[in-house]
């Protein structure tokens, strides 16, 4: 990363002038230079200032820099793409060095990308690749679109209005009446946990009583027997 003469932060580096350059600098001052990333220059500072298609010097002929920053003769790129079959997919028109697309994607709006599109605007092989000349195939009509003209019957409208009348309006604060369920009859078995979440004033008068299993007749008889035995023991052996 570095600053170019425009004071823009950039990671592009001119191999010939050995300085950081931005896209604006490349188009205006370094249109014939070999430009790559600064990291590539640190790995290998050697460069070949010739067209990688015809191996001729870049000082001759009209030049074209692709979006991948590789530079060629415009005529060489045009001739190479014209020799490809007409059925070639857009991805087949690629840079011979890095295999990147010659025509930039639609979402690339850099100045170099616009220059590439304008350079091949009249080329026959690029007519179906350029965004402005691409053929748009309409989608088939769906069943929903075919039935869009169907009108609703009065019965459907009445059902919708009835549903709207019974709809609860949350914004207005109107809630449906709460359903009140009656308690079990007096003859039914009452659970002792029914009153544990109620306030003290709301609890029933019998909710404090222990459950029936602690006062069973069998346990009462055993308790009375033990108490009688203790009284007899105290009467005969102590008194």
Which pLDDT value is given to residue 3?
Answer: 83
SS3 label, residue 39: helix
The C-alpha atoms of residue 103 and residue 130 are separated, in whole angstroms, by: 7
Which pLDDT value is given to residue 158?
Answer: 57
Instruction: Sort 71 into a burial class: Cβ within 10 Å, 0-12 / 13-18 / 19+.
Output: buried
Which pLDDT value is given to residue 79?
Answer: 93
Task: Show Cβ contacts of residue 53 under 8 Å, excluding neighbours closer than 6 positions.
Answer: 72, 73, 76, 77, 80, 96
Which pLDDT value is given to residue 213?
Answer: 53
Which pLDDT value is given to residue 135?
Answer: 46
pTM: 0.51
Dihedral pair phi/psi, residue 37, rounded to 5°: -75, 160
Q: What is the pLDDT along the chain (239 residues), one digit of tens a residue?
A: 788 888 888 889 898 888 899 888 888 888 888 898 888 888 888 888 889 999 998 888 899 999 999 999 999 999 999 999 988 888 889 999 999 999 988 888 888 999 999 999 888 888 888 876 544 444 445 554 555 554 545 555 555 555 555 544 444 455 555 555 544 444 445 555 555 555 555 555 554 445 555 567 778 888 888 888 888 888 877 76
């Amino acid at each position: 990363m570095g600053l170019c003469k425009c004071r823009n932060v950039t990671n592009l580096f001119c191999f010939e002038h050995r300085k950081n350059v931005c896209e604006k600098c490349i188009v205006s001052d370094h249109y014939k230079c070999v430009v790559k990333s600064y990291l590539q220059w640190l790995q290998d500072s050697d460069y070949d200032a010739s067209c990688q298609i015809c191996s001729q010097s870049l000082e001759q002929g009209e030049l074209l820099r692709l979006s991948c920053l590789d530079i060629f003769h415009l005529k060489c790129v045009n001739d190479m793409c014209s020799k490809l079959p007409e059925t070639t997919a857009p991805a087949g028109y690629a840079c011979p060095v890095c295999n990147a697309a010659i025509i930039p994607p639609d979402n690339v709006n850099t100045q170099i990308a616009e220059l590439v599109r304008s350079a091949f605007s009249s080329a026959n092989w690029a007519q179906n690749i350029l965004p402005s000349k691409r053929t748009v195939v309409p989608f088939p009509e769906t069943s929903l679109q075919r039935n869009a003209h169907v009108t609703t019957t009065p019965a459907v409208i009445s059902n919708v209005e009835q549903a709207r009348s019974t709809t609860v309006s949350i914004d207005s604060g109107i809630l449906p009446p709460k359903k009140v369920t009656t308690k079990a009859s007096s003859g039914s078995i009452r659970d002792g946990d029914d009153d544990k979440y109620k306030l003290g004033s709301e609890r029933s008068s019998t909710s404090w009583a222990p459950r029936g299993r602690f006062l069973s007749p069998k346990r009462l008889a055993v308790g009375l027997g033990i108490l009688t035995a203790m009284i007899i023991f105290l009467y005969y052996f102590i008194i």
